[in-house]
């Protein structure tokens, strides 16, 4: 029987629900990618790459070039590196992945700027994969991808829920000022949109938003295991014009959209449920490009920090923190409470 366009459309319509049901979620993709990577490792590599979910190492996160636990790309063969990068792609959006790739490649720029001193300190393959717990659909587990200026921490609970926090991205240099990559600004959008917002404020608004004329030397929460709301909060969203408020929400979305779309949508839904009216924006330091500066955005559930203060204002740190669910704490607490109740 000849298949007509009408019959073909009908067949597609009948199959669509089944196809959608089988569409992979972030948790499923992470599970498959993590197990594919772990299966490719030798016994010594696997031992190096894995920890118990309850191990204290899970919250020992860093964004500076320090010795790390886990298995670095440098100690993987070509296939294993591909599998590690595939795991990373299960958690990041295109924007997040492009940021991560660019940050790792800046290690080559730093190596040249520092004349490779000390030798081996700057290396785009000194990025580590660490898996916490045994990846399975019926139990919680987590994983981390981390190295200089990158720290992505994922927690998977009940085979469906994924938390992406804390999430850190930094850039040194903030702007490449010589060589073939001259003019590149990996986190330029985060900087420019923050400055555009603060410069749109009228004198009365700026008086509230400007918490200090001098920027702090580092993001306030640093690599603390827990992040708490910071004071002063700055200017409330309710004191912004509609256009300014739209800019503020857009800036939050920029940070959240570093994660894969499904994770970003869930995070933004939580932020909106907690109340966009509760958002605050604070700035410290100079207002013009090249000035040392810092800003933060807070809501009832989260904190964003951005600074460009080191290396004479050419070194950026930025982070997204979840007050309750960094490292999936709140979600894990609910999971264990429900498990024990049975």
With 0-12 / 13-18 / 19 or more C-beta atoms within 10 angstroms meaning exposed / middle / buried, residue 125 is middle
* pLDDT, tens digit (0-9, with 9 covering 90-100), for 60-95: 999 999 999 999 999 999 999 999 999 999 999 999
Residue 165, SS3?
Answer: strand
Pairing between strand 71-72 and 50-51?
A: unpaired
Q: Is the pLDDT of residue 339 over 80?
A: no
- Tell me what percent of the residues of the chain surpass a pLDDT of 70: 92
The whole-number pLDDT of residue 4 equals: 44
Contacts by 259-263, CB closer than 8 A, 24 or more apart: 259/91, 259/92, 259/93, 259/96, 259/164, 259/167, 260/26, 260/90, 260/91, 260/92, 260/93, 260/96, 261/93, 262/25, 262/26, 263/26, 263/91, 263/162, 263/164
Transcribe 232-298 into DSSP letters: ---EEGGGS-HHHHHHHHHHHHHHHTTB-HHHHHHHHHHHHHH-GGG-EEEEEE-SSTTS-EEEEEE
Beta bridge partners of 152: 145, 167
- Tell me what percent of the residues of the chain surpass a pLDDT of 90: 87
Look up residue 329 and give its two tokens.
Answer: 């704490």
* Mean pLDDT across 223-228: 97
The whole-number pLDDT of residue 340 equals: 57
* pLDDT, tens digit (0-9, with 9 covering 90-100), for 264-280: 999 999 999 999 999 99
Q: Judge contact between 65 and 148, C-beta under 8 A.
A: yes
Residue 191, SS3?
Answer: helix
Q: Judge contact between 168 and 112, C-beta under 8 A.
A: no
The whole-number pLDDT of residue 11 equals: 41
In the chain, which ranges are E strands?
50-51, 71-72, 128-132, 141-147, 150-157, 161-171, 210-212, 235-236, 280-285, 293-298, 302-308, 316-322
How many whole angstroms separate alpha carbon 64 and alpha carbon 317? 10
Looking at every residue in the chain, the average pLDDT score rounds to 93
pTM: 0.91
Q: Is the pLDDT of residue 334 over 90?
A: no
């Amino acid at each position: 029987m000849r298949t007509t366009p009408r019959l073909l459309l009908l067949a597609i319509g009948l199959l669509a629900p089944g196809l959608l049901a089988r569409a992979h979620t972030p948790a499923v993709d992470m599970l498959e990618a993590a197990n594919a990577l772990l299966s490719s490792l030798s016994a010594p590599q696997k031992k190096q790459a894995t920890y118990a979910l309850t191990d204290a190492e899970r919250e020992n996160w860093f964004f500076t070039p320090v010795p790390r636990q886990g298995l670095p790309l440098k100690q993987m063969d070509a296939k294993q590196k591909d599998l590690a990068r595939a795991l990373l792609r299960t958690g990041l959006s295109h924007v997040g992945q492009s940021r991560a790739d660019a940050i790792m490649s800046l290690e080559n720029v730093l190596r040249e700027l520092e004349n490779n001193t000390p030798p081996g300190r700057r290396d785009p393959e000194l990025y580590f994969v660490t898996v916490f717990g045994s990846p399975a659909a019926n139990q919680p587990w987590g994983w981390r991808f981390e190295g200089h200026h990158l720290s992505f921490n994922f927690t998977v609970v009940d085979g469906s829920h994924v938390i992406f926090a804390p999430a850190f991205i930094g850039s040194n240099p903030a702007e490449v000022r010589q060589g073939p990559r001259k003019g590149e600004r990996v986190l330029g959008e985060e900087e420019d949109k923050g400055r555009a917002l603060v410069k749109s404020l009228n004198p009365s608004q700026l008086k509230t938003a400007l918490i200090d004329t001098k920027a702090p030397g580092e993001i306030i929460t640093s690599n603390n295991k827990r992040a708490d709301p910071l004071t002063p909060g700055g200017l409330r969203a309710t004191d912004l014009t509609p256009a300014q408020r739209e800019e503020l929400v857009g800036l939050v979305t920029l940070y959240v959209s570093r994660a894969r779309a499904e994770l970003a949508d869930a995070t933004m839904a939580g932020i909106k449920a907690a109340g966009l009216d509760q958002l605050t924006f604070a700035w410290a330091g100079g207002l013009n490009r090249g000035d040392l500066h810092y800003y933060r955005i807070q809501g009832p559930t989260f904190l964003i920090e951005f600074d460009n203060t080191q290396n004479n204002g050419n070194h950026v740190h930025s982070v997204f923190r979840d007050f309750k669910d960094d490292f999936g704490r709140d979600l894990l607490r609910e999971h264990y409470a429900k498990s024990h109740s049975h």
